[in-house]
Amino acid sequence: MNDELKEAVDHLKTYGYCLLKDRIPSDVAKSLAGRCLELHDDDRYKQYITGDDHYQTLFGIMNLDDRAWTCASHPDTVSIARHFLGPSCRVVEACSKPTWPGATAPQKLHVDSASAFNEVPDVPWMINTIWMLTDFTVENGATGVVPMSHRSRRKHPPSEITPDSPLIKPVTGRAGSVMMWHGGLFHQARPNTSDQIRVGLNIAYNPSWFNNWIEGGHQPIWPETYERMPEDLQRLCPGRLGLDREQVYEQFGDRKRSTRGGQNLRDNEERMT
Ligand SMILES: O=C(O)CCC(=O)C(=O)O
């Protein structure tokens, strides 16, 4: 690991997040942003979208655009994810997250995938990333983080941290940069008061012991997607292959939401080609 990455690891350890600037060319990032917006607009993918007119998540991008692979297998993010989660960590989801102008309310401040724990572990259970497919600015909704909050071991941020809290720091960067964070960090998509759409590509890395059912909506990698992947990416997506969540993840409790079928998504994709 080079000195720059070591510094990023130290930053993530101390503050709960780090920023890697300009990891893919900005024109590649922007063209992927354009494609993501087309997918959000396409009725065939509506069932894989959560959110409203101002902020959405579209799950399953690894199966829909191979350019997401470049981000998921980027040597720098993978090296940092492996540092925290071990050599067998895996890519579990890539989803696009646009914020449109007029999004005046921020996303709820939250922690990732911690709600099912009785006690939040003191080792990371997720290293999350958001690739800036457009520039991320203070005005257009750059992700806000509460530095050092990953050490709190809370399942939910305290209600005292209100949306206007000075504890929330926007993480800005040029298109092609990526922010990484510990799943326990309090964070949110911020309001978009600009006239530009902000598009992020959120890619999560989990350790092999983590049950991905917890994160409602996460779609598995389809077997045929896996077949087409280069070997280094296959190493990051082992085992859990299938067309929908029920085929792949252990289900538990009453979390039977977001069980939308990958088969339909695949059929739709076939109709497109
Ligand atoms: O879209 C953003 O800026 C935040 C994404 C987020 O909260 C998440 O992926 O957990």
Q: Which atom of ligand 1 is nearest to the CA of 200?
A: 1
CATH code linked to domain 3-215: 2.60.120.620
Helix (H) or strand (E) holding 3, with range, is helix 3-15
Whether residue 200 has pLDDT greater than 80: yes
With a CB cutoff of 8 Å and minimum separation 6, the contacts of 166 are none
Residue bearing the CA closest to ligand 1, atom 9: 202
Confidence at residue 257, expressed as pLDDT on a 0 to 100 scale? 46
Question: Tens digits of per-residue pLDDT, 16-28?
Answer: 999 999 999 999 9
Confidence at residue 266, expressed as pLDDT on a 0 to 100 scale? 42
**128, 140, 149, 180: which to mutate for ligand 1, most atoms within 8 A of CB?**
128
Total-model pTM: 0.90
Spatial separation of the C-alpha atoms in residues 60 and 45, rounded to whole Å: 10
Confidence at residue 252, expressed as pLDDT on a 0 to 100 scale? 66
Whole-number average pLDDT of the chain: 89
Phi, psi of 227, deg, nearest 5: -55, -35
Whether residue 215 has pLDDT greater than 50: yes
Residue with tokens 């709190």: 152
Question: Tens digits of per-residue pLDDT, 128-139?
Answer: 999 999 999 999
Domain ranges of the chain: 3-215
Whether the CB-CB separation of 85 and 78 falls below 8 Å is answered with no
Confidence at residue 255, expressed as pLDDT on a 0 to 100 scale? 47
Nearest one of 44, 4, 104 to 267, comparing CA atoms:
44
Across the range 94-109, mean pLDDT stands at 91
Confidence at residue 93, expressed as pLDDT on a 0 to 100 scale? 85
Whole-number Å distance, alpha carbon 210 to ligand 1 midpoint, is 20
Ligand 1 pocket by Cβ (under 6 Å): 97, 107, 112, 128, 130, 143, 187-189, 200, 202
Spatial separation of the C-alpha atoms in residues 142 and 249, rounded to whole Å: 32
Whether residue 260 has pLDDT greater than 70: no
Residue bearing the CA closest to ligand 1, atom 10: 112
Confidence at residue 264, expressed as pLDDT on a 0 to 100 scale? 40
